[in-house]
Amino acid sequence: MSETPDNAVHAVRTYIEQHRDAFLGDLADWLRIPSVSARPDRAGDVRRSAEWLAAKLTETGFTAVEVWETAGAPAVFAEWPSGDPDAPTVLVYGHHDVQPAAREDGWHTDPFEPTVVDGRMYARGAADDKGQVFFHTLGVRAHLAATGRTAPAVNLKLLIEGEEESGSPHFRELVEAHADRLAADAVIVSDTGMWSETTPTVCT
């Protein structure tokens, strides 16, 4: 007998809660990388951020993970086919670079040393956009655990750029160069606002 939708949702939430601490620990490690694309002296950190993400996506189970070079900062592409010939293809967009940040900007703590206060993690990039990007890795693992699948129900692709906070100067060129690899039935932009912390939000 197949699981009911309520049971499946419960299984996903249970998995997320059970793996919450490890997920937050990994996210904190990523947030410590000051991947400020607008500062040339941080170019090495932006690359380190891309390489960190690529390694974690490989660890998650994505079957193809590549660091894509641009004339500026590198992007990360990952792909995980469903195995179902009728499955749609979903492309998730996000970015791994962040805006500049310093204590004198008004931060109460070091912006590149994640700090948890009242259940919230504070760090540059926690909400724009590393937190959202990285949550997809936990989501897909929860989906597999809840369903018993060995691959996602959709053909899943991620494109995580490294220059969004600098105006994406090379993004169009990157997309055009890899248009065949990026073909999808739907695109999810994982870098938008939320209505409230208790309300899932979809912007169309």
Domain harbouring 159, CATH code: 3.40.630.10
Residue 178 forms part of a structural domain: yes
Is 4 a residue whose pLDDT tops 90?
Answer: no
Number of domains observed in the structure of the chain = 1
- Alpha-carbon gap, residue 179 to 141, rounded angstroms: 27
Enzyme catalytic residues: 97, 164
Is 3 a residue whose pLDDT tops 80?
Answer: no
Beta strands in the chain (DSSP E): 64-68, 75-80, 89-95, 115-117, 120-122, 155-161, 186-189
What is the structure's pLDDT at 199? 87
Backbone angles phi and psi of 121, in degrees to 5: -95, 125
pLDDT digits (tens, 9 = 90+) for 104-136: 999 999 999 999 999 999 999 999 999 999 999
Residue 196 forms part of a structural domain: no
Backbone angles phi and psi of 48, in degrees to 5: -60, -35
Domain of 131 in residue numbering reads as 5-189
Residue 91 forms part of a structural domain: yes
Is 2 a residue whose pLDDT tops 80?
Answer: no
Residue 194 forms part of a structural domain: no
Q: What pLDDT band is residue 1 in, cutting at 50, 70 and 90?
A: very low
Is 91 a residue whose pLDDT tops 60?
Answer: yes
Is 198 a residue whose pLDDT tops 60?
Answer: yes
